[in-house]
Amino acid sequence: MKESWSSLDTFEPNFRPLVVIELAKNTREETREWLTSRIMDKKANGGAQLLVKPLVTESGDQNIYLVGASHFRLLLGAEAVGLVKECTDNSMRTFTYSSRKTFKGFADDNHSFLTMAECQYIIKHELENLRAKDEKIIPGYPQAKLYPGKSIVRRLLTNGILVQIFPLHDQEELKKLRHTWYGRVKIGYQPLDEIRCYFGETIALYFGFLEYFTFALIPMAVIGIPYYVFAWEDYDKYVMFATFNLLWSTVILEVWKRLCAVMTYRWGTLLMKRQFEEPRPGFHGVLGVNPVTGREEPVYSSIRRQLRIYLVSLPFVCLCLYFSLYVMMIYFDLEQWALDYHKESESNFSSLMLFVPSIIYAIVIEIMNRIYRYAAEFLTSWENHRLESSYQNHLILKVLVFNFLNCFASLFYIAFVLFDMKLLRQSLATLLITSQILNQFAEAFLPYWLQKRHKKRMKKKMYSQKTDTDLSLVEQVNLEKEMGTYFGTFDDYLELFLQFGYVSLFSCVYPLAAVFAVLNNITEIYSDALKMCRVYKRPFAEPTANIGVWQLAFETMSVISVVTNCILIGMSPQVNALFPDSKMDLILTVAFVEHMLLAMKFVMAFVIPDKPRDIQIKLARLEFESLEALKQQ
Amino acid sequence: MKESWSSLDTFEPNFRPLVVIELAKNTREETREWLTSRIMDKKANGGAQLLVKPLVTESGDQNIYLVGASHFRLLLGAEAVGLVKECTDNSMRTFTYSSRKTFKGFADDNHSFLTMAECQYIIKHELENLRAKDEKIIPGYPQAKLYPGKSIVRRLLTNGILVQIFPLHDQEELKKLRHTWYGRVKIGYQPLDEIRCYFGETIALYFGFLEYFTFALIPMAVIGIPYYVFAWEDYDKYVMFATFNLLWSTVILEVWKRLCAVMTYRWGTLLMKRQFEEPRPGFHGVLGVNPVTGREEPVYSSIRRQLRIYLVSLPFVCLCLYFSLYVMMIYFDLEQWALDYHKESESNFSSLMLFVPSIIYAIVIEIMNRIYRYAAEFLTSWENHRLESSYQNHLILKVLVFNFLNCFASLFYIAFVLFDMKLLRQSLATLLITSQILNQFAEAFLPYWLQKRHKKRMKKKMYSQKTDTDLSLVEQVNLEKEMGTYFGTFDDYLELFLQFGYVSLFSCVYPLAAVFAVLNNITEIYSDALKMCRVYKRPFAEPTANIGVWQLAFETMSVISVVTNCILIGMSPQVNALFPDSKMDLILTVAFVEHMLLAMKFVMAFVIPDKPRDIQIKLARLEFESLEALKQQ
pLDDT number for residue A235: 60
Q: Where is mean pLDDT largest: A127-131, A188-192, B438-442? A: A127-131
pLDDT number for residue A496: 93
- Distance between CA atoms of residues A141 and A144, nearest Å: 6
Closest chain B residue to the Cα of A618, Cα to Cα = B292
Of B233, B116, B124, nearest to B177 (Cα)?
B116
Helix (H) or strand (E) holding A92: strand A92-94
Confidence of residue B187 (pLDDT cuts 50, 70, 90): low
- Measured from the Cβ of residue A498, the count of other Cβ atoms closer than 10 Å reads 24
Helix (H) or strand (E) holding A53: strand A51-54
Of A570, A225, A563, A321, nearest to A421 (Cα)?
A570
Mean pLDDT of A310-334: 94
**With 70 as the cut, is the pLDDT of residue A232 above it?**
no
A621 contacts in chain B (CB < 8 Å): 291-294
CA dist list (Å): B235 to B241, B429, B503, B570: 9, 19, 18, 10
pLDDT number for residue B11: 41
A595 contacts in chain B (CB < 8 Å): 563
Confidence of residue B216 (pLDDT cuts 50, 70, 90): very high
Question: Would you report the helix, strand and coil content of chain A in percent, each value rounded to 5?
Answer: 65, 5, 25
pLDDT number for residue B498: 92
pLDDT number for residue A293: 83
**With 90 as the cut, is the pLDDT of residue B297 above it?**
no
CA dist list (Å): A101 to A88, A111, A618: 9, 14, 21
Q: Where are the alpha helices (DSSP H) in B346-387?
A: 348-353, 356-382
pLDDT number for residue B232: 67
**With 70 as the cut, is the pLDDT of residue A504 above it?**
yes
The answer to whether B38 touches B129, Cβ cutoff 8 Å, is no
Question: What pLDDT, in 10s, does the model give residues B401-422?
Answer: 999 998 899 999 998 888 888 8
Beta-carbon separation of A292 and B620 below 8 A: yes
- Measured from the Cβ of residue B24, the count of other Cβ atoms closer than 10 Å reads 14
**With 60 as the cut, is the pLDDT of residue B580 above it?**
yes
Q: How far is B466 from chain A (nearest CA, A)?
A: 47
**With 70 as the cut, is the pLDDT of residue B355 above it?**
yes
- Check residue B60 and give left, alpha or beta (phi > 0: left; psi -120 to 50: alpha): left
**With 80 as the cut, is the pLDDT of residue A81 above it?**
yes
Beta-carbon separation of B623 and A563 below 8 A: no
Query: Which residues have C-beta within 8 Å of that of residue B408, sequence separation ≥ 6?
Result: B501, B505
- Distance between CA atoms of residues B178 and B192, nearest Å: 12
The answer to whether B78 touches B122, Cβ cutoff 8 Å, is yes
- Distance between CA atoms of residues B422 and B229, nearest Å: 17
Of B77, B153, B387, nearest to A620 (Cα)?
B387
Strands B19-23 and A296-299, by their bridges, are: unpaired
Does A60 or A625 have the greater pLDDT score?
Answer: A625
Mean pLDDT of B292-312: 88
Question: What pLDDT, in 10s, does the model give residues A241-250?
Answer: 777 887 888 8
| B491 phi and psi angles, rounded to 5 deg | -65, -35
To the nearest 10°, report the CA torsion of B215, B216, B221, B222. Answer: 80
Window from A269-273, A595-599, B367-371, B412-416 with minimum mean pLDDT: A269-273
**With 80 as the cut, is the pLDDT of residue B237 above it?**
no
Residue A372 burial (C-beta neighbours within 10 Å; 0-12, 13-18, 19+): buried
CA angle A392, A398, A404 (to 5 degrees): 120
Nearest-by-Cβ selection for B80 from A587, A591, A631 = A631
- Distance between CA atoms of residues B386 and A488, nearest Å: 45
Confidence of residue A13 (pLDDT cuts 50, 70, 90): low
Largest CA distance in chain A: 96
Strands A84-86 and A64-68, by their bridges, are: unpaired
- Distance between CA atoms of residues B577 and A135, nearest Å: 76
**How high does pLDDT run on average in chain B?**
85
Does B224 or B319 have the greater pLDDT score?
Answer: B319
**How high does pLDDT run on average in chain A?**
85
Confidence of residue B259 (pLDDT cuts 50, 70, 90): very high
Of A77, A23, A16, nearest to A52 (Cα)?
A16
- Distance between CA atoms of residues B557 and A429, nearest Å: 42
CA dist list (Å): B593 to A48, A135, B78, B562: 59, 61, 54, 10
3-state secondary structure (DSSP) of residue B93: strand
| B162 phi and psi angles, rounded to 5 deg | -95, 120
pLDDT number for residue B8: 36
Strand residues in B114-221 grouped as ranges (E): 137-138, 141-145, 162-167
Q: How far is A624 from chain B (nearest CA, A)?
A: 6
Confidence of residue A216 (pLDDT cuts 50, 70, 90): very high
Q: At what angle do helices B513-530 and B490-505 cross, to 10 degrees?
A: 170
To the nearest 10°, report the CA torsion of B583, B588, B591, B596. Answer: -140
B563 contacts in chain A (CB < 8 Å): 595
Beta-carbon separation of B293 and A563 below 8 A: no
Nearest-by-Cβ selection for A588 from B273, B275, B587 = B587
Q: How many beta-carbon pairs under 8 angstroms link A with B?
A: 45
Query: Which residues have C-beta within 8 Å of that of residue A596, sequence separation ≥ 6?
Result: none
Helix (H) or strand (E) holding B22: strand B19-23
Beta-carbon separation of A591 and B591 below 8 A: yes
**With 80 as the cut, is the pLDDT of residue B242 above it?**
no
- Distance between CA atoms of residues B79 and A175, nearest Å: 56
Strand residues in A393-446 grouped as ranges (E): none
| B294 phi and psi angles, rounded to 5 deg | 75, 5
Question: What pLDDT, in 10s, does the model give residues B555-571?
Answer: 999 999 989 988 888 88
Does A464 or B475 have the greater pLDDT score?
Answer: B475
A591 contacts in chain B (CB < 8 Å): 587, 591
**With 60 as the cut, is the pLDDT of residue A1 above it?**
no
Best probe of the B interface among A630, A631, A632, A633, by most B CBs < 10 A, is: A630
**With 50 as the cut, is the pLDDT of residue B590 above it?**
yes
Mean pLDDT of A267-296: 82
**With 70 as the cut, is the pLDDT of residue A174 above it?**
yes
B281-295 exposure pattern, b = at least 16 Cβ within 10 A, e = fewer = eebeeeeeebebbee
Confidence of residue A470 (pLDDT cuts 50, 70, 90): low
Report which DSSP code applies to A231: T
**With 70 as the cut, is the pLDDT of residue A306 above it?**
yes
Percent above pLDDT 70 for chain B: 93
B627 contacts in chain A (CB < 8 Å): 273, 275-276
pLDDT number for residue B165: 93
Percent above pLDDT 70 for chain A: 93
Confidence of residue B295 (pLDDT cuts 50, 70, 90): confident
A588 contacts in chain B (CB < 8 Å): 587
Question: What pLDDT, in 10s, does the model give residues A363-401?
Answer: 898 899 889 999 999 999 999 998 888 898 899 999 999
Nearest-by-Cβ selection for A292 from B291, B584, B617 = B617
Q: In the Cβ-directed half-sphere of B567, how many Cα atoms lie within 13 Å?
A: 16
pLDDT number for residue B323: 94
B216-250 exposure pattern, b = at least 16 Cβ within 10 A, e = fewer = bbeebbebbeebeeeeeeebebbbebbbebbebbb
- Distance between CA atoms of residues A590 and B415, nearest Å: 20
**With 90 as the cut, is the pLDDT of residue A326 above it?**
yes
pLDDT number for residue B208: 95
Chain-centroid distance of CA B41 in Å reads 35
- Distance between CA atoms of residues B210 and B231, nearest Å: 30
Beta-carbon separation of A621 and B273 below 8 A: no
Residue A606 burial (C-beta neighbours within 10 Å; 0-12, 13-18, 19+): exposed
**With 60 as the cut, is the pLDDT of residue A465 above it?**
no
Q: Which residues are A85's β-sheet partners?
A: A93
- Distance between CA atoms of residues B553 and A101, nearest Å: 49
pLDDT number for residue A459: 65
Mean pLDDT of B110-134: 89
Beta-carbon separation of A621 and B80 below 8 A: no
pLDDT number for residue B236: 66
pLDDT number for residue B632: 66
Question: What pLDDT, in 10s, does the model give residues A556-566?
Answer: 999 999 899 88
Beta-carbon separation of B292 and A587 below 8 A: no
**With 90 as the cut, is the pLDDT of residue A150 above it?**
no
**With 50 as the cut, is the pLDDT of residue A204 above it?**
yes
Mean pLDDT of B332-336: 90
Q: Where is mean pLDDT largest: A97-106, A595-604, B208-217? A: B208-217
Mean pLDDT of B198-215: 94
- Distance between CA atoms of residues B93 and B71, nearest Å: 20
B583 contacts in chain A (CB < 8 Å): 583-584
B80 contacts in chain A (CB < 8 Å): 631
- Distance between CA atoms of residues B32 and B35, nearest Å: 5
Question: What pLDDT, in 10s, does the model give residues A153-165?
Answer: 988 988 889 999 9
Confidence of residue A123 (pLDDT cuts 50, 70, 90): very high
Q: 3-state SS string over A569-604?
A: HHHCHHHHHHCCCCHHHHHHHHHHHHHHHHHHHHHH
CA angle B495, B496, B502 (to 5 degrees): 95
State the sign of the Cα–Cα–Cα–Cα dihedral B71, B74, B78, B80.
positive
**With 80 as the cut, is the pLDDT of residue B121 above it?**
yes
- Distance between CA atoms of residues B23 and B160, nearest Å: 8
pLDDT number for residue A403: 92
Confidence of residue A59 (pLDDT cuts 50, 70, 90): low
**With 50 as the cut, is the pLDDT of residue A22 above it?**
yes
Q: How far is B62 from chain A (nearest CA, A)?
A: 35
